């Protein structure tokens, strides 16, 4: 059903509508990539915090 609608859109939509659709798809893709990058950065930050906390525990044990 979606393929049929996409095909009809491609055949009949004015160029401006196709351009808006293309720009929207591009922005959605960029947003998904930014979201993925943020999640990866947060995961790295959390991992670094865990390592720092473990180092702090190790240091306080030797005091």
pLDDT in tens, 7-49: 999 999 999 999 999 999 999 999 999 999 999 999 998 888 7
For the chain, what are the domain ranges? 34-63
pTM: 0.63
pLDDT band, residue 2 (cuts 50/70/90): confident
Instruction: Calculate helix-pair angle for 15-61, 2-12, nearest 10 degrees.
Output: 130
pLDDT of 14: 98
pLDDT of 61: 56
Q: How far apart are CA 48 and CA 42, in angstroms?
A: 10
Closest CA to 20 of 28, 32, 11, 30: 28
Which has more confidence, 57 or 46? 46
Note the residue count of the chain: 63
pLDDT of 18: 97
């Amino acid at each position: 059903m979606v393929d049929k609608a996409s095909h009809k859109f491609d055949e009949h939509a004015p160029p401006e509508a196709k351009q808006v659709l293309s720009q929207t798809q591009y922005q959605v893709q960029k947003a998904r990539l930014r979201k993925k990058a943020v999640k990866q950065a947060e995961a790295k930050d959390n991992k670094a915090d865990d390592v720092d906390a473990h180092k702090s525990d190790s240091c306080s044990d030797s005091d």
